[in-house]
Structure 1
Amino acid sequence: MIRLYGTPKSRAFRCIWAAEEAGLPYELIPLGFGPGMKAPAHLKLNPNGKIPAMEDGALALFESLAINLHLAAKAGPPLMPLGDDASRVLQWTLWAATEVEPAAMQWAYNTYIRPAAERDPGQAAAGAAGLNARLDVLEGQLGAQSWLLGETYTIADCNLAGVLYGAWANKFDLGGHTRVKAWLERCLHRPAALAARALREAP
């Protein structure tokens, strides 16, 4: 049994979504932000003292997108394709982590995460500009196709849409990126995404 440690209101949301897409049985072990993340038992799974973490038999993993790649590999095609498309999945997953997420989080921290008195409008604007530059790239990649790699949904879509979920849910202006907006709607209204969102968005 796959065991996911975290709370749906964290990056563990991405892993819940991926497990649902993969059709794999899993158990969510509730672990929120707080001292539990620094407990010795959890540090054995994630020495960074963060969430999420995963156990799959003898394997322990941290980093949400690495966990997702593992889950997709267990499911196999089409979620994790073979050949060159497997390399493209890795490319877009790393792009999500290194290019998209830093800009998205710069915007998020200074728009809705930090208390209002601690937000920096200049940092929010810089984050928005950085995110828009990455969305320009994504807009061009999508073109007339439905998904990142073409006409088949893969874990690359799950990973990138998972990174963009916070911006989407908090009304980042996607008006100039109509293909991205339509793609995010497709991603986030899939049955697996709705199952994960039901946990994430619960009161």
Structure 2
Amino acid sequence: MLTIHGVTRSRASRIIWLCHELDLPFQQVPVIQAYRLADADAADAPLNTRSAEFLALSPAGAVPVIEDEGLVLSESLACTLHLARKHGGPTGPQDYAEDALMGQWSLYGATAIEPDALTIMYLHGRTLSQPDDEALVAEAAERLARPLKVLDDHLATHAYLIGGRFTVADLNMAEITRYAMNHTALMEPFPAIRAWMAACHERPAFQAMWQARLAEPE
């Protein structure tokens, strides 16, 4: 059985969502991020990304990691693309061209959108903000305008990213774009993204993952 190492409040959410899409059984080892703990090295600390047990599996010390029939694989997008190729059906590539496009969109999200979207998720609307938070959010939003327009323009004429159907590329991109969705002024000019995100989040597989995520401690 597939094993996913990582709490659902991490990028492991991408893999868990995909497993629900595929009806793929999995077991989850809830490895928590060390930065979320007061003392990750304490004797009574829960299993975390600095625990010796986890570092033996993943020297990079980052979740998620999967174990799949002897394959140990890290990096969430590598994991989802692998599982979609192996089990994906409609969610995975139907030919080499679709496989290439799924990689293209996933990497575009990771490189052009995710860093600034994470800044917005962590800093936008914080109750206890630092003096430079507003400037950092404004700069991130300015940089995101161009890649979000690229995505919106594509979705304005395509229901989904590839092949006219929901695929792992949509899942990967939706999980990345979600980080910026709390900035309503940023997202207002992109109606196609907002409609596509709503469709992605209405999927029962996303809802199953999200309920598990909400059940975890913050």
TM-score scaled by length of structure 1: 0.91
1:54 maps to amino acid: I
Deviation digits for residues 82-110 of structure 1 (CA, Å, limit 9, x no counterpart): 22111100100111111110111122232
Distance 1:51 1:15 in 2: 11
Please tell me whether residue 117 in structure 1 is matched to residue 135 in structure 2: no
1:167 maps to amino acid: A
Identity of aligned residues (%): 34
Contact 1:105–1:127 under 8 Å retained in 2: no
Return the match for 1:156 from 169, 172, 184.
169
Cα displacement (A) at 1:193: 0.6
Match of 2:188 in 1: 175
Match of 2:57 in 1: 45
Match of 1:97 in 2: 110
Deviation digits for residues 36-81 of structure 1 (CA, Å, limit 9, x no counterpart): 2112221133221111111112111111111111111121332111
* Structure 2 stretches lacking a partner, 5+ long: 35-39, 41-47
User: Which sits farther off after the overlay, 116-125 or 11-20?
Assistant: 116-125
Distance 1:97 1:74 in 2: 22
Distance 1:115 1:150 in 2: 44
Q: Which has the larger radius of gyration?
A: 2
User: Which sits farther off after the overlay, 147-156 or 37-46?
Assistant: 37-46
Distance 1:76 1:13 in 2: 17
User: Which sits farther off after the overlay, 114-123 or 128-137?
Assistant: 114-123
Contact 1:108–1:124 under 8 Å retained in 2: no
Contact 1:12–1:64 under 8 Å retained in 2: yes
RMSD: 1.9
TM-score scaled by length of structure 2: 0.85
Distance 1:185 1:131 in 2: 20
Cα displacement (A) at 1:115: 5.0
1:21 maps to amino acid: E
2:110 maps to amino acid: A
Distance 1:115 1:55 in 2: 39
Distance 1:76 1:25 in 2: 13
Contact 2:124–2:183 under 8 Å retained in 1: no
Cα displacement (A) at 1:5: 1.1
Contact 2:77–2:106 under 8 Å retained in 1: yes
Cα displacement (A) at 1:147: 0.3
Distance 1:134 1:29 in 2: 35
Match of 1:59 in 2: 71
2:32 maps to amino acid: G
Distance 1:112 1:53 in 2: 31
Aligned length: 202
Distance 2:57 2:126 in 1: 27
1:23 maps to amino acid: D
Cα displacement (A) at 1:143: 2.3
